[in-house]
Amino acid sequence: MANENRISVVITADPTGAVTGIRMVGDETEKLTGRTQSLTQRLKSHWAEVSVGIYAAVRAFQSIWGLMEKAAQTDEAMASLDALTRQYGMTAQDLVSKIEQESKGLIGMGAAAKVAGDALMKGLGPDQLAQIASWSVSLSHIRAGTVSTADAFEMLSQSIATGRERGLKALVGIVDLEQKYGKYADTMSKAEKAQAMYTVVAERMAQVQATLGEDVDSAADRMERFNNSVERMKYFVGSLLLIIGQPFMAIFQVAMTLVYGLAGAFDTLVSEGARVTDWLGITEGATERWAKKADTAYGNAARSAMDALAKVGLSHRLRHRPSELSGGEMQRVAIARAIVMSPRLVLADEPTGSLDSVTGEQILAILQELNNSGATVLLVTHNSEVARRARRQLVLKDGRFVS
């Protein structure tokens, strides 16, 4: 036909380029395989060195973290002690230095801060603690090798503050309040009993120290003092590491906040997607299923903690640091921490000792609720009114059960 146009397309293929490309890919694959095998061989031949290096790195990190953690704990104890010593017109450092001086350096800063904070919260005064530190030196010499000065300081302070006659008996012998105070000893409040015990122990220790005479600086004392110096050095190193590590911890916290934020966004996205698919009829009940999974994976821990704080009346202190809490509030935090996981067994040692009557009643109600739900509550108290609320009572006197 005259108007017909013919188009002829001739395709010719030169395989050279394709073959070259395939060969290049093969060569690179072989090189990668060779490098991988070479690395594997090096790891196999030097596995001992690699293992030692990894172990050393892990141990170094654990040591650094341990120093930082111990320094942070000491700082926290000092901050709490500082809050408790303000009412006496002194600082935590003043009291710790006084304890160290009276103990001739045999009680370290960390032990002094920890024990002093607990004892002040239970009613002992700074001057009494300093005197107890002095007694602890004599007791550690009498118990040579079995009780350190720091241990004697803790045991003696706790026994006097809580009225534990058994603890005092193990350290200074039998403390009989009835012999000194008569029938009045049975009607004493907890605070009065603690002060009475302090007076009796003071008389006993005055006799002991007069008998012993001037304390001799023994080799054991020098070793104990050296250990305290090492612990103080570790504290300063840990504090320095905390300062250096704070930027890295801040970065990590930001990263974790970002991760939690993304998790929350993903939770919202999935929930809305499930709601849409349910509305379109593509799925059925997906909203409820995803909501249940999200609640399980996200937020349960925080919710449980807030519920526990609410039970002890501390919801308004959620964002406060330990140094900003009173002694009673610290005790309530400890109780919240104990009940947050709904334990099967609760060990409560004087849970209402430092609380006012209203808060103490709230704490007892919480423990009663736990007991009613099936948990076993073992409670130690010197308050007969608190004891009468228990289903079973065991009375301990001079280290023996009398009923």
* Residue-by-residue pLDDT tens, the chain, 403 positions: 455 555 554 455 555 655 566 667 666 776 666 666 666 676 666 667 777 888 888 888 888 888 888 888 888 888 888 888 888 899 999 999 999 988 888 898 888 998 888 888 888 889 989 999 988 888 888 877 677 888 888 888 888 887 776 667 667 665 666 666 677 666 777 777 777 778 877 887 888 778 877 766 777 788 888 888 888 898 888 888 888 877 877 787 777 777 767 776 776 777 777 777 777 777 777 667 766 666 665 566 677 788 888 888 888 887 788 778 877 788 788 888 888 877 888 888 888 876 777 878 888 888 888 888 888 889 888 888 888 888 888 888 777 777 7
CA distances from 385 to 80, 189, 357 (A): 31, 12, 12
Q: Which two tokens stand for residue 206?
A: 């005055």
Question: For 12, phi and psi rounded to 5 degrees?
Answer: -120, 140
3-state helix, strand, coil in the chain (%, to 5): 75, 5, 25
Q: Please name the amino acid found at residue 350.
A: E
What residues does each domain of the chain span?
A: 16-45, 59-216
At residue 278, the pLDDT reads 73
pLDDT value for 15:
57
Can you tell me the distance from the alpha carbon of 363 to that of 355, in angstroms, rounded to the nearest whole number? 9
Q: What is the phi-psi region of residue 349: left when phi exceeds 0, alpha when psi lies from -120 to 50, beta otherwise?
A: beta
Q: How far apart are CA 19 and CA 342, in angstroms?
A: 71
355's CB contacts (< 8 A; 6+ apart) are 328, 331, 332, 363
Q: What is the pLDDT of residue 97?
A: 92
Compute φ and ψ for 193, nearest 5 degrees. -65, -40
Could you tell me which of 328, 372, 373, 370 has the C-alpha nearest to residue 350?
Answer: 328
Residue 187: enclosing H or E segment and its boundaries?
none
Q: What is the pLDDT of residue 262?
A: 76
- The one-letter code for the residue type at 32 is L
Report the alpha-carbon distance of residue 400 to residue 390 in Å, rounded: 20
Burial class of residue 313, CB neighbours in 10 A (0-12, 13-18, 19+): middle
pLDDT at 291: 67
Q: Which of 67, 221, 237 is nearest to 150 (CA)?
A: 221
Two tokens, residue 338:
């104990």
CA atoms within 13 A on the CB side of 134: 16
Torsion (CA) 95, 382, 365, 157 in degrees, nearest 10: 20
Structure-token pair, residue 198: 């302090």
Long-range contacts of 245-251 (CB under 8 A, 24+ apart): 245/68
Name the residue among 86, 84, 98, 171 with its Cα closest to residue 129: 98
DSSP state string for 332-352: HHHHHHHHTT--SEEEEESTT
